[in-house]
Structure 1
């Protein structure tokens, strides 16, 4: 069977993509008035599934749903199949197959996922991707398709042209990658932010930023985004026209906040006024944002979504959030408060009721709480803190919660699953987390389907969390690993110095990492959570590390 040599030699990093999860897509669809499939019992197809880093966590956590992945790279398909077998997943099939050969007569799918494929394949395959979405999508289904868009990607296309010129005559992926890196180093030294006379050179800034990013980017991203034969971005409106030919209609962007002109500021919002319907506005917003990448959701043309969202629908869901206040929280007055997201972003909240809601959610993350009871508890807390006049202002709270949702600061779900958020006496990681850590990929999927990066120490600790060690034994074994493994010691700093301080490094690292793993939902319930053992606090498991 045909394979993709460049992807066999430089596999694309395969990881969890939050916006593709059935729970995320089903929730967004319901907010827009659709009766979407139950994420706990649905069918999912991913075209271009790589080694299954996106589908495998879904299949692990949604055992009653069915998943099918298609991947042309023989090596990536083989890797994914090996992990599927290791985990004993019977609800996931990862096929080594060409997209053009996908069976069109199989049962329909509730969710079709196409991430990082559409812009990087020939025209015939692009058409077939949308044809398959139209053909295989169920009546209540949603298709997710990501792609590069014009005109914003032209800025990156300039650098792609330079790198492709440098790679002329190079045939192997390794040689092309080496030449590209050489040119990036030369550009970093040679492209100046100023003209020879000292005047600013603003037109060079975009290039300089992209060069600096690519110098430290993953080899797979550099190669497959900039050095592959095909990378053909399109106007959003052209992609929509293709979709219509295959019986598809635009539902939304998976990053919902980008659909609101108000996020561009008052001047931009005024400039867009009167230009046309939502699709036309989307195109013009791409112009104003210089947008380079989209993650678009399609439905069947006969679906009838409603883009006028009723905020009362939020009460149909439970909420989860992992936001950390950066200053002392005041519940007795309206005051702008900044919160940090787990990935380092910043979001703002003003209303005391919203702050109390976030406080309650932080205590139980990664678990979710139903909004109604959560709001009741928050109102009592606000009233008790001297903010009685704000305790019943639920409309203001709903508005802020919706803004947090569309900015992906909070999540909505109808799933009832719960995960331990405390560190027990005999910590044990899920089989999925241990398998992903052992794979050497450098990341694991959280229970909320976010990719959590692993360094050498965190990967080693996850592999030790098989439930056979209490906290004392973990401390002993972790310190031993640091002392005896040169690679691990080197990753932590100077090998000689690290080995000498292993007894100090291990306790602090164990406490920090177990807290992170608990918040990511990577731990399995233990018999009795405890406040501390061997000097390592493990009671709440909710610190950010």
Structure 2
């Protein structure tokens, strides 16, 4: 009887998850997602007082890898690590393996496989499940958690993203409307077109309404206009989409011998954005799980990126500034002023990639952030940061242990606060040193994947696992960076392309005069190479 019940549940699961037709017809485009990177998962584990696996030699499993665009950059940048991606879509796996063959990477496998058929014995240091958990039925969700228990190494970290309530109640209402309307149409392409048309109609019908419903419809329309058809279909028109409350997810994790560690976007765990009254009330909740659940209520949260560990782990959530010594630091925060006055107490601003700013009036911290920016894309230890900042201020680094400890705590407080409060990728802590080429060689070589992405996507994945949008000039330049062609030949090739009308060089918005073309091309090549170097895109 028990066996028959299991077989029945499996049949239901297979009937509901065998979406090879829809995912083959309308692929779910995969991209690098920075919050899934082993560097980030290992850092958060260590930040909360746990041991974490060696990222350089780690084993990574991604469940629902699509065409592998999240794993492939990791595999190229971490040649001594190993990666396995599984996905049900035969077409997307074939597409990923075609790219993998071109890259000639031997440390990654992309496999077409049903989640329910995964029975590996291998232990993985990091397990990634992005955009899958909410979109499969309960038996498959349980299998995902079972894999996370069975196949996660003792100090490993699993990443699982999912839709959450209460925020998804309103989005679910829109999904229900679109499912009702699109059900009248036979093919998926028509369903997408009609569902988008319905959303446009609803939005226009409430245009000018200042009530919550009208405002929400307008914001959803703006969001969905920016999304591709794959995201739209699989998020709103697929059969399965089961958002849960965070406490329900936590309970499911606990049943499988696992526990919640934290969020991959650590700033969401903070109450800094809440009112003082709300912050005070949340200190009275009996557990971290309840605190996080109430924060979801207050923020009307729709999506979570949870990190999971074995249930014998004992995280420590009181962050200590002195713990900065456990990490290497790299910063993408750009000084707002080119020649910032480091010695005065005038406030200095540093800008993140999304425009968020962090300010400090302390000379030491201004010097620290400038030094880190100038050192990027390479990471720095606390000792190197202290020495570099002191040099900028014209001071000798401290020798006494007490003075070193004092500076370490001061620096650690600011850097850990920045890591836990700024957008992901603004300032990164890592458990390993990251060293990239800081010089442009005479025959520059870009990473192979970046050369291909420049042509196929117009975007490249940098050393921080971020997507960088390219201009037209960089799209042409990157495939030339093969390590065999010197800079003078590259400039000459661009000149030939101008002479044969294959490209147009502009000067101040208009087509450049023939006498200025060579000068402009040389300047553009040099600037582009500097930018690529700053992003860690050139092989040393």
Provide TM-score, normalisation by structure 1: 0.86
Aligned partner of 1:123 among 122, 132, 138:
138
Structure 2 residue matching 1:50: 3-state secondary structure = coil
Shift of 1:499: 12
Q: 3-state DSSP class of the match of 1:477?
A: helix
Trace 1:97-496 onto structure 2 (pairs within 5 A): 97-104=113-120, 106-194=121-209, 200-327=210-337, 329-382=340-393, 393-406=407-420, 408-438=425-455, 440-478=456-494, 480-481=496-497
1:280-327 Cα deviation digits (max 9, x unpaired):
100000111111111100001112222222222211222111111224
Q: CA deviation at 1:30?
A: 1.5
Is the contact made by 2:192 and 2:233 (CA closer than 8 Å) also made in structure 1?
Answer: yes
Call closer, same or farther: CA 1:473–1:219 in 2, change over 3 Å.
farther
What do the CA deviations read for 1:148-201 (whole angstroms, capped 9, x no partner)? 11001223223323332332222322222222333344345333123xxxxx44
Work out which of the residue numbers 28, 32, 48 in structure 2 matches 1:12. Answer: 28
Of residues 105, 116, 124, the one that matches 1:89 is: 105
Post-superposition shift, 1:518? 1.3
Gaps of 5+ in 1: 195-199, 526-545
Cα deviation 1:20-73 (Å, max 9, x = unaligned) = 111221122112121111011111111001111111111112122121111111
Aligned residues between the structures: 514
Q: Distance in 1 between matches of 2:168 and 2:361?
A: 36
Map Cα deviations across residues 85-107 of structure 1 (whole Å, 9 max, x no partner): 21221111111001111114x12
Unaligned runs of at least 5 residues, structure 2: 1-16, 397-402
How has the CA–CA distance of structure 1 residues 6 and 357 changed in structure 2, closer, same or farther, with 3 Å as cutoff? same
> Aligned-pair distance for 1:231?
1.6
The separation in 2 between residues aligned to 1:229 and 1:500, in whole angstroms, is 62
| Distance change >3 Å, CA 427–CA 177, structure 1 → 2 | same
Q: Does 1:28 align with 2:44?
A: yes
Between 1:159-168 and 1:269-278, the stretch displaced more is 159-168
Deviation digits for residues 489-541 of structure 1, max 9, x if unmatched?
79x9999999999768745543443232212211123xxxxxxxxxxxxxxxx
Q: CA RMSD in A?
A: 3.1
Rounded Cα–Cα distance in structure 1 between residues aligned with 2:374 and 2:261: 34
- The question of whether the paired residues in 1 share the 8 Å contact of 2:75 and 2:107 is answered with yes
- Bigger drift between 286-295 and 309-318 goes to 309-318
Instruction: Output the TM-score relative to the length of structure 2.
Output: 0.87
SS at 1:23 equivalent: helix
Residues 2 and 286 (structure 1), Cα distance of their counterparts in 2 relative to 1, 3 Å cut? closer
CA distance in 1, matches of 2:515, 2:231: 38
Task: Give CA-to-partner distance per residue, 1:241-278, whole Å, 9 cap, x none.
Answer: 11111111011111112112233242321232312211
CA contact (8 A) 2:353 2:426 kept: no
How far did 1:223 drift? 2.0
Q: Counterpart of 2:457 in 1: which secondary structure?
A: coil
How big is the shift at 1:433? 1.3
The answer for the alignment partner of 1:522 in structure 2 is 537
CA spacing shift, 1:485–1:341, aligned 2, 3 Å: farther
Distance 2:248 2:516 in 1: 60
SS of residue in 2 equivalent to 1:192: coil
TM-fit CA distance, 1:449: 1.4
CA–CA separation in structure 2 for the residues paired with 1:499 and 1:380: 46
Looking at structure 2, the residues matched to 412 and 71 of structure 1 have their Cα atoms a distance apart, in angstroms, of 31
Within a 5 Å distance, the mapping from 1:524-539 to structure 2 comes to: 524-525=539-540
Q: Distance in 1 between matches of 2:72 and 2:536?
A: 16
SS state of the match for residue 262, structure 1? coil
- CA drift at 1:403: 0.9
Q: 1:450 to 1:408 in 2, by over 3 A?
A: closer
Q: Secondary structure at the match of 1:263?
A: coil
- Given the superposition, is the C-alpha separation of residues 317 and 393 from structure 1 closer, same or farther in structure 2, using an over 3 Å criterion? closer
> Which has the higher mean CA deviation after the structures are superposed, 365-374 or 445-454?
445-454
Q: 1:350 to 1:476 in 2, by over 3 A?
A: same
**Structure 1 residue 129: Cα displacement:** 0.7
Cα gap change, 1:329 to 1:441, in 2 (>3 Å): same
For the 8 Å contact 2:425–2:464, the answer to whether it is kept is no
**Contact 2:42/2:431 (<8 A) preserved:** no
Q: Is the 8 Å Cα contact of residues 323 and 412 (structure 2) preserved in structure 1?
A: no
Q: Which residue of 2 aligns with 1:537?
A: none
